[in-house]
Amino acid sequence: MRWYIGKEREPGETEQPYWGGFLRLRLPFIHYPWEWPEFIEGAILCVVPMGVIAGMQASFGITYEMGLTMVIINNFLYLLHTSFGDPGLAGWITSGIPLYMAFVADYATPGGLNIGSIQAMCALQLIMAAIFLIMAFTGGAKTVANLVPTAIKSGILLGAGLAAIIRTWENNGSGIQNQVAKWDIGGGVGPLSISFLIAVILSFFILWSPRSLGYRKEHKWFAWIAKYGIAPTFIVGYIIGVLIGEVPKPTGITDQGWIFSLRISETYNAMSPFVIGWPSAEMFIGAISTAIVAYILAFGDILVVQALIDESNNARKDELIYYDPNRANFWSGIRDLLEALIWPYLPLAGPQWTAGQALVVNRYKQSTSEEFYSYWGGATCMYWGMASIMLVYPIVLLVKPALPFGFGLTMAIQGYLCCYLAMEMVTTNLERGIAGMIGGILATRGATWALLMGVLFYLALVYGTSEERKTEKLRKMNVEQE
């Protein structure tokens, strides 16, 4: 059943109907059908954004309820993107979270509520808002995307993927899988979470295995399960984790009522610069370098969105999905500005949640227009489900023990996706080598060194050579053939 009363789009590669121009307003049921698979998937994966609450408690000294309030409001703000013409499933600037935590720690103040760290985060987020909005209004985002050489773009994507993989699997006690691990394999392997490994393998199988595509066509029951993406695999992994003792059993699920009461006033009074005071000049100056690195990481996310949307348009010729980097920058800047003024948000506001984007794009590409009519239904319903379900307090408490589990799963998917997109972008061995160097440096030394070395590698090895002209000619021929 298609939950849609709006106008059908024109045949062929045309956009789904909308109101407006640059800000293309689309409303559920009127401009696109409601998609229950993404709504349910988003509801189950609410555990992913909740994973940052512990980090905010440690950095800012806030309560769990205040952190949950911030996460819920932030998730509703994601809907600004998909409701006003940006097909990107917005998210955090995830790869830089350890960097932001280290930055605000330099301004930590003793006591319960950490005013100094909150003010430092406010300075960082205000600078990020300014960068995003300047890029949006000057058209700089699209210009940058066109001017940056392919080898450097690929290297940024590869580095982001490697950083996500390392963050998930590193064997030094800080890897995400270590937080749900129980079994020490020995022989240098170290602690390993069996339930997490099962969830990752099942998720990758459903999303990308050719066998999975065949099973969808042969078995209706498998097709029904697969359309919910990684939600079923998370549930399977969570249940196994509880049964074998890797994940603690949830307790007190109905002890605190059924509907979570947002702590808006309490959080605002504890964190807003209008109440606690504005950041110092020293904080703004200190935040500049961190903000530049954060935007480089966000630029990598913009490249991923563009690549995935291009894949969608190539796979489905019945709908045109238009992606404008300037519009993505605009809404990211608006979200950063709003959050900095009401309560600074540790992971920052960025243009994409990579794992969620992959889930929607994957089902869209593999579906007919009858099965999945418009991309916008899936992209928007994912966040309607995720934001709404977090208001149901028993659900929040039910999934609370699995916060590292869900966060690790989405990071593993981000790592895989970034790596294969990066490798797909480059066409020569010279480009592959430069991309590999940039990726390795980004994952181990950070974005500043990676960008500097990437530019130097490109100038020394490619710029102005016959190899560059040949590569660009080959790339243009491939685009014309597509």
Q: What is the reported pLDDT for 474? A: 63
Please state at what angle helix 281-315 crosses helix 325-342, rounded to 10 degrees. 140
Q: Greater confidence, 68 or 417?
A: 68
Q: Which of 194, 90, 175 is nearest to 404 (CA)?
A: 175
pLDDT in tens, 317-376: 999 999 999 999 999 999 999 999 999 999 999 999 888 898 899 999 989 888 899 999
The whole-chain average pLDDT of the chain stands at 87
Q: Which of 451, 470, 479 is nearest to 152 (CA)?
A: 451
Phi and psi torsions of 191, nearest 5°: -65, 140
Q: What is the reported pLDDT for 213? A: 82
Beta strands in 91-213 (DSSP E): 183-184, 191-192
pLDDT mean over 30-59: 88
Q: What is the reported pLDDT for 3? A: 73
pLDDT in tens, 120-133: 999 999 999 999 99
pLDDT mean over 420-437: 88
What's at 23, amino acid-wise? L
pLDDT at 403 over 50: yes
Q: Under a CB-based contact definition with an 8 Å cutoff, are residues 29 and 4 in contact?
A: yes
Instruction: Give the pTM.
Output: 0.79
Please give the distance of CA 448 from its chain centroid, rounded to a whole number.
Answer: 21
pLDDT at 167 over 90: no
Distance between first and last Cα of the chain = 34
pLDDT at 285 over 90: yes
Reported for 212-218, long-range contacts at CB under 8 A and 24+ positions apart, including other chains, are 213/366, 216/366
User: Containing H/E element for 187?
Assistant: none
Q: What is the reported pLDDT for 468? A: 67
Calculate what percentage of the chain has a pLDDT beyond 90: 42
Q: Under a CB-based contact definition with an 8 Å cutoff, are residues 326 and 192 in contact?
A: no
pLDDT in tens, 200-254: 999 899 888 989 888 888 888 998 888 777 888 888 998 999 999 888 888 888 8
pLDDT at 467 over 70: no
pLDDT in tens, 441-465: 888 887 778 888 988 999 998 887 7
